[in-house]
Structures are given as C-alpha cells and as structure tokens.
Amino acid sequence: MSEAQEFKYIGQRTVRPDGFDKVTGRAAYGADLTLPGMIWGKTLRSPHAHAKIRSIDISKAEAHPDVMAVATFKDFVTLQSESIAAGEGSADVLDLAKNCLADDKVLYHGHAIAAIAARTEQAAKDALSLIEVKYELLKPVMDVEDAMKEDAVVLHDDMFTAGYEEKPARASNIATRVEMKMGDVDAGFADADVIVEREFRTPTAHQGYIEPHACTVTYDEDGQSMIWCCTQGHFDVRTSTAKVLGMELSKLKVVASEIGGGFGGKTVIYQEPVALILSKKSGRPVKMVMDRDEVFIATGPTSAAKLKAKVGIKKDGTITAMQGWMAYEAGAFKGSPMMPGVMTMFTPYDCPNVLVEGFDVVVNKSKVAAYRAPGAPQAEYAAEMVINELAEKLGMDPIDLRLKNAAKEGTQTIYGPKLKKVGLVECLEAAKNSPHYQSALPEGQGRGLAAGFWFNVGGQSSVTVNMNTDGTGTIVEGSPDIGGSRASMQMMAAEVLQIEPKHLKPIIADTENLPYSQGTGGSRTTFATGMAVIEASEKVVAQVKERAAAVWNVTAEQVDYADGVVRNTAGEDSMTLAEVCKGAEKTGGQISGSANINARGAGPSFAVHICDVAVDQETGKVDVTRYTAIQDAGKAIHPGYVEGQLQGGAVQGIGWALNEEYIFNEDGVMENPGFLDYRIPLASDLPMIETIIVEVPNAFHPYGVRGVGESGIIPPLGAVGYAVGNAIDRKVEELPCSPPRVLALIQNG
Amino acid sequence: MAKTHVTTSINGEPQEFLCEPGDTLLDVLRNDLNMTGTKEGCGSGDCGACSVTLNGRLVCSCLVLGVEVEGAEVGTIEGVSSGDGLHVIQEKFLEHAALQCGICTPGIIVSTKALLEENPNPTEEEARYYLAGNLCRCTGYDKIIRAVMDSAETLRGGA
Ligand code: FES
Ligand code: FES
C-alpha cells in the first residue's frame, strides 16, 4: 500500500449495520434461543479445590421424575492425549474434556462433575442435590510459588516439566520452563551506571464479560446436531466438541449467536459438549446458561503471576541490559500465556542484551483462558515499572527515556524476527505533545506512564461476497462480531466496490456455510478477515469488468471500474454495478467472490498511556482523575470503534490495576464470585478516557490496518501502578492497588 | 406447586401469564413471554442488564418476582422505540458508537430513559452516578456518557 491513500469510505464514522437490532433488544445472544420441546441443563460443581473423586452415584437423580438426562465424564468417548487448536493457542483434548466434566479428580472449586437436564432450569438445579459424590480431600495448591516448591502437592502425577534437556525424575506442577535470550546480559549489567531490580505480583483477574456462557443444542436421532452458542470462534467450538464426542465435523453445525463480550474468554468449550450429551440422552433440545458465580469460578480468569524485572542503564539513558523472570499460573491444566509474556516483556525497547525466563505452573484454580493480549499485561507491567523508576533515578523524563531506547524498524526482538515498521516513536511523541502530558499535575496527585506492545495475529479467514440482482450485496464472513467489526467489513467492501456501505450487508455465517475461519481474537479480525473481504470484493470487481467487456466485445483490460460504474475505455459505453448485476443471468450467471486466506504480516500495535490519580490518604481509595490512551492503529477503518477499543482496553486495565482480584479462603474456595465483590469499574469510577489514534500504516495490509483490540490493556497496569506510587511516594509492587493494600503501603512505607 | 395467574401491562399492552412463586420478572419476560431484549448478566442486582421500569420506577427485573407485577405497568427495551422508528436515545447510542458487544445496551438505554425523565438536564457526574448500576465491560463508558449527554440535549429541544 502507498503511504498516503485517499479513501472514499474508510475512516468515516458510519452507523454499524447490526446496530438497530442491538439498541432495540432484538439481537439474539447466547441465552436468547428457545426451541420447541426444549429442556434445561444445569451443572453440578465441586465444592472443593482439590480432591480425588471416589465415586459418583447418579442413580437417585436418574430415577427422579423431573430428570430427563444425566451426564458425567464417562459419557465422553475414550480419548487419547492430543494437542488441538483451541482458544488463542492449543490445548490437549483430554484436558479439555476433563475440564468440561471432571474425571477422577476435581482440581478447583467450581470444577464441573456432572450435569442434569430437566423440564425447567429450577428443576434441573434442584435435582443436582440428588447426585452423590464421595471425595478424598487433598491439600489445595493456591499460589504459584507454593506450587513450584520441591515438596509441593502435585496436581497431575504424569506431568513432568518440559524445557529441560533431560526429562526430570519427578512429576511437578511446573508444566514448562522457557528461556529466551540475546546478547550477554552480564556484560550489559557491567556496563550500566544504574541498575534497578524489583519483584512484582499480579492477581487472578477475570475477563468479566457481562453475558454468561450460554448454549442451546440439539442432537438428532440420525446423528446430526447443532450448537447455538456465544463464542468468539464457532469453528473452534466445532473442532473441540467433535473431538471430545468422537463426531465427524460434517455432523455438527455450530451457529455463533451475538456475543455479549469475550475478551479471549469465550474461545474454549465448557458446557457445549455436555449439553449435547444431555440432548442425545433425552432426545430433546437442551439449553444451558451459566449463573454469574459459575462464570467466575469455572471459566477463564487470566494468570496470576509472580515476576522479576532487572534493567541496567547508563547515565545518558541508554539501556544496557534487561532481565526478566516470570511464573504464571495456568490454573488446573497446563497452558498459561507465559510464552507471550516472555516474548513481549521488553519488546518496546531496543536493547542488545536481554534474558527472560518463564514458568507455566498449574495450581488449584480454574484453567485460565485468553484475556486481551494474553500474558503481556503482567510481564510488561513489571518492565514498565522498572523503566519508570530508572527515569526517576536519572532525573530523566520518562518519555525521553523511552524515546532514546524505543523499538523501531529493524530492532531485533527476543523471539526471532526484526521488527518491521512500527509506531512506538510516533505514539511516544503524540503522548509528549498531548494536552494531558502538557498539563501540570494537580497538587497532591500522582502521574504514571507506560508503553505496551502486542504482536497481533493474522491467520485463517474465509469470506464470500454475494452480489444481488439489484447491485447490493451480502458479505458472508466467519468472524463473530464482538465490538462492531461488521461495520469495518462493510466499509472495506464498500471501498473496493465503490458503492455506499449501506448497500452491503455483513452476516456471520455458521460452520456449514463457509470453510474454516479462526475465531475473533488476537486482534485479527479487522486485519485478516478484512483482507479476505477486500480480496473477495476485488474478485467481484474483476467479474463485473469481464461481464461488461463481454457485452461490449472488448477485453477486460479495456474496461475501467470507478464509483460503482464500469466504463469502456475503447468507446462510450458505461454500466452501473446494478446494471451488470441485473444482467448477470445473460452474461454467465450470478456474481460473487470468495477468498479463503491465511493472512500473514499482522503489524504490531504499540500503545502509550498516561494516568493521573488522587489517593485518599485515610482510606487508600484511588480515583483516576485523568487518563489518555494513545495507540497506533495503522489505519483506523472506523475511528469510533477504534477509540472504543482503546477506551475499553484502558478501563479493563484500570480495573485490573485498582480493584479486581479473586479472593480465596484457606480451602481454596473463591469468596467473591459476583460483581458486588469482584468489582469491575463502574461509570461513576471513571473520567472520560481521552484517545489519540496514531496511524503508521502496516505495509502488509492493503489499507494499512493493524489490529487494535489488545495492546490497550497492557499499559494501564504500569501507568496506574506507577501513578499510585507517585501519589503516595511509595514503591508499588503488588496489584491490585485496592484500598487495603494502598493503605498498608501508606502506613508501613 | 400451583402457578399464579398474573394480569399486568407491558409497554402499554395488557398481558397475562402464569408463573411459579419463585420466578422473577426477568424469567417471566425472557422464558414465558419470549421478550429476550431484557438481558441477564448476574441475577443478583449487580449488573443492570435486566433493567426495566415498574410503574415508572427503574428496577432490576431479576430482583422482582413475577407475581409482584399484578396490576402494574412494566416498561422494557421492546417498548422504547415506537412504530415510527428509534427513540432519540437509541439513535444517539448508534451515532456515538456507544456499544460494542451490545449486551449491556438494552439495560443502559432503559436506565437512560428513566434518568432523562427524572432529570432532563443531568451533569456528567449525575449521569455517571445514575448509570453506576449498569455495568459495561466493553466501552469504558466514555461513549455511553457522550450519548447520554447528547440525548439529553436533543430531548430538551436543543436540536
Ligand atoms: S441480571 Fe439483574 S442486575 Fe444483573
Ligand atoms: S457493550 Fe459490551 S458490555 Fe457494554
């Protein structure tokens, strides 16, 4: 793409095509489908964090007149350990199945054990008490450091740490150890004038989508089945469910409902295969909707982490060495986002000497799921806190320090490639010139600033653009629309077809109407699915030209297409797109274009946030008084929804930094599984979130797009954490900065 | 257990239903009357996704029993737009991109309508506190507050 593209529709603030349904309550979400004869399923969950299951007796439940089916782990097909694509990474099928319904052990408070289907939701809930489970209690392992100890109780006796040259002699809670390095950190630290080294902790936090997981399913006698559910990736729901139930993909249709938030958490299966078992056994459609407490105790939080960061710097501000260590909780089964943590930790900096070590550790908490830039916020929090402290020590402006060391085109990353063109310097400059940074900090408040890096991903997207006989069209895509992406798809197709966006209707097809498409996650949709939309639309234009050329008896090269009109450059003829579509019947059949791509070249998006806080010295309560989020979008297709991503990410990060955390009692039981006690930010907690969109085009996307969904959740942890420390003149190490913790810091120094 | 017969009015239309003593108004709306515009985010009065009006007062329908609406006037998201199109508040939410996933949107629009009927000229702070019972995890509230303030201005006759 060229640097200065002129756009007709891209960059406008159009009204989203699915908006009407969403403001009137007509849009159908996960829990909104009812089928004739439908019954309800409910899940029995473990009251214990760690126990062997001695026996499960379902006979009383099965005999009860209200109960129409009961499911346990035994109903899954016999499974072999096998890694499959799931969520934003891979998972072992056996672990997936054991997480849906426990096998011989419960591994966390809330672990599903059995499920019952009955005529009403209440009847199903009531009947759960008829299932008798005998447990042999085990000591719960609730903390990453405890879990790593030599004498720790081991969750899985067949788990041996991967990442060492020799297989360890003993099973361990450490699933994997990773080390990445470049240069020579020892030499780098020897060169440094100032070194800061600190330890940090971040809590277990939840994605907190407002819509609980929900599905309605049918299993027909001939083996054809259907799942309607709220998911970020219905093709992956199909793969995982078919695997654990031993089904052919052609027998299982998955329909993505509208989705009420996901943030990475709705990328894995929980109830879907269980509901299908219940449907098969009862011969009825089955609906399962989680209660809010089930969402907290049994679905994807993100990893609590313990981290260390050490950075050396010369007096002039040149960073000479960076070293990190991190241990991430995976929850009950291996697979924390430790790896992206290792890869992103120091990537905003151009430093030749870097060493990072990471551990993926199982504990007795629910299995973590992806959460917006999975793994990066924790690691980059540790790094940014230390960078800020170094700036303070040197008496250097924190933006200048970052500018001096900023990663740019050609910077070597720790994970292999050199960076292509990126916009960190531009974001830092925009931050420096922002009204917020230019304004004086109000008396008594604290200010913090942090940068964030996320790779962004591409991947597989399938799209078909079907033209109607009146010149309007349908964009058939496979990426669930979680935050307004239909609007972007519509605008990108409109840009190619040169007709108004409103004449194009984007729809999310089910798994039978398109080839495989990866889920919405990793900030890939506007980039990758957008690329497929552009390619499919270009194929439509090519056909339109060919048809017109045939009518005029010229070659397609002699035909021009602009503003929705084809013109014969060798004569006077012209036809509108609508006329070509209308005549398609006589020129070779209807017109459509498909593109099934595996997009490469996702451009990283850097973010820089600035935060001011006021701290109540008596209660320790922190108020964010001003906040600015700056981010490189490459090209903002719909600036309104890009700003929305920046603001939403910032506020989730603010919640994580200030209040959100799982609280467990000594038995490993979560004590705050509700929105009253797990406190996400409210409207009354926040100021307006100022945004600055920086546009450094990504050369690998026709319009320059970089994904914007994820980077925004990274900087808040460091920006807020540092601002709080700045306001109370203390060193913040542990998040969240909740009132009791801040008060303790104020009082104890 | 015997079901109770309830006669009520929903969005100005007479309505009758049978409900179990333990069923909430939210259960009745969604499961018996198939009015799924009202959403459930928590079932415990903490998220506001289930916001409706009961005799003009804003309530969480998950905290009201179905039997309690006998003889009452219930207002839901389905009644906000009229036959002639969207309500100003709905239009402003779309214009300002004040929704991402949209699951909180019906509840927030019902609450905003209640706010502006009570207080046609709220300050930003008043709007933020009035909507403090409506959680939105996607937007960070910025665009929601802009849509609310713009709706208020438009409804006051500024536009
Ligand atoms: S569902 Fe009623 S307040 Fe959340
Ligand atoms: S738009 Fe998703 S919760 Fe508000």
pLDDT score recorded for residue A1: 46
Mean per-residue pLDDT over chain A, rounded: 96
Query: What was the pLDDT predicted at A78?
Result: 84
Find all residues with CB under 8 Å of A275, minimum gap 6, and list them. Answer: A41, A115, A215, A216, A217, A227, A286, A287, A288
Contacts of A208 in chain B (CB under 8 A): 137
d(CA A355, CA A339) in angstroms, rounded, equals 13
Q: Which residue does chain A place closest to B108, by CA atoms? A: A23
ipTM of the complex: 0.98
Q: What average pLDDT does the segment A41-53 reach?
A: 98
Token duo for residue A719: 């920006």
Please report the pLDDT score of residue A5 as a whole number.
83
pLDDT at B83 over 80: no
Residue linked to tokens 């966390």 = A108
Stretch A65-76: mean pLDDT, rounded? Answer: 96
- The alpha carbon of residue B114 is apart from the nearest alpha carbon of chain A, in Å, by 16
State mean pLDDT over A419-443: 98
Q: What are phi and psi of B148, to 5 degrees?
A: -65, -45
Give me the mean pLDDT over the A155-167 stretch: 93
Mean pLDDT of the region A541-570: 96
> Residue A728 above 60 pLDDT?
yes
- At A206 the pLDDT is 98
Asked whether the beta carbons of A522 and A340 are under 8 A apart, the reply is no
Q: C-alpha distances in angstroms, A439 versus A388, A403, A447, A449, A580? A: 19, 20, 11, 14, 58
Per-residue pLDDT at A3: 55
DSSP class of A144: H
Residue A470: pLDDT over 60: yes
Indicate the SS3 state at residue A256: strand
Q: The tokens 């490639």 sit on which residue?
A: A417
Asked whether the beta carbons of A192 and B117 are under 8 A apart, the reply is: no
- Residues A272 and A252: their CA atoms lie apart, in Å, by 12
Within a domain: A81: no
pLDDT at A2: 44
Tell me whether residues A291 and B138 touch, CB distance under 8 A.
Answer: no
pLDDT grade for A4, boundaries at 50, 70 and 90: low
Mean pLDDT of A527-551: 96
Largest interatomic CA distance in chain A = 87
State the distance from the centre of ligand 2 to the C-alpha of A147, rounded, in angstroms. 36
Domain ranges of chain B: 4-79, 88-155
- Residues of B in Cβ contact (< 8 Å) with A641: 97, 100
Does residue A544 fall inside a structural domain? yes
- Region A364-372: mean pLDDT is 97
Does A622 have pLDDT greater than 50? yes
CATH number at residue A535: 3.30.365.10
The pLDDT of residue A692 is above 70: yes
DSSP H helical segments within A179-271, as ranges?
185-191, 234-245
Question: For the residues of A463-508, what is the DSSP string, one character each?
Answer: EEEEEPTTS-EEEEE-S--SSSHHHHHHHHHHHHHTS-GGGEEEEE
State which fold the B88-155 domain adopts.
DNA polymerase; domain 1 (1.10.150)
For residue A562, is pLDDT > 70? yes
| B1 has pLDDT over 70 | no
Residue nearest to ligand 2 atom 4, measured at CA: B136
Give the helix/strand (H/E) hosting A452: strand A446-454
Whole-number Å distance between alpha carbons of B56 and B29:
17
pLDDT tens for A481-507 read: 999 999 999 999 999 999 999 999 999
Q: Residue A402 has which token pair?
A: 């970052």
Domain span at residue A525 reads 19-26+458-599
CA-wise closest residue to B69 among B41, B46, B35, B103: B35
* Percent of residues, chain A, with pLDDT higher than 90: 94
C-alpha distances (whole Å) from A14 to each of A111, A210, B23 are 44, 26, 41
Q: Which ligand is nearest to the CA of A481?
A: 2
Residue A542 placed within a domain: yes
Identify the CA nearest to A670 among candidates A148, A105, A142, A115.
A142
For the residues A697-710, what does the mean pLDDT come to? 94
- pLDDT at residue B159 greater than cutoff 70: no
A739 domain-assigned: no
Nearest to A274 by CA among A506, A100, A493: A100
pTM exceeding the 0.95 threshold for the entire prediction: yes
pLDDT of residue A472: 98
Q: What is the pLDDT of residue A30?
A: 98
Q: Determine the Cα–Cα distance for residues A367 and A108; give it in Å rounded to an integer.
A: 9
CATH architecture of B4-79: Roll (3.10)
Pick left, alpha or beta for residue A261 (phi over 0 → left; psi -120 to 50 → alpha; otherwise beta).
left
Q: What mean pLDDT do residues A416-438 have?
A: 97
Strands in A146-292 per DSSP E: 174-182, 194-202, 205-206, 214-219, 225-229, 252-256, 286-289
Which pLDDT belongs to residue B2? 85
Q: How many domains does chain A have?
A: 1
Percent of chain A predicted with pLDDT > 70: 99
Ligand 2 centroid to Cα of residue A208, in Å, is 10
Q: Of the ligands numbered here, which is closest to the C-alpha atom of A644?
A: 2
Distance between CA atoms of residues B114 and B93, nearest Å: 15
CA distance A267 to A223: 25
- Contact residues of ligand 2, CB 6 A cut-off: A 210, 261; B 99-104, 136-139
A391-415, pLDDT tens digit by residue? 999 999 999 999 999 999 999 999 9
Average pLDDT across chain B, whole number: 96
Going by pLDDT thresholds of 50, 70 and 90, the confidence category of residue A87 is: low
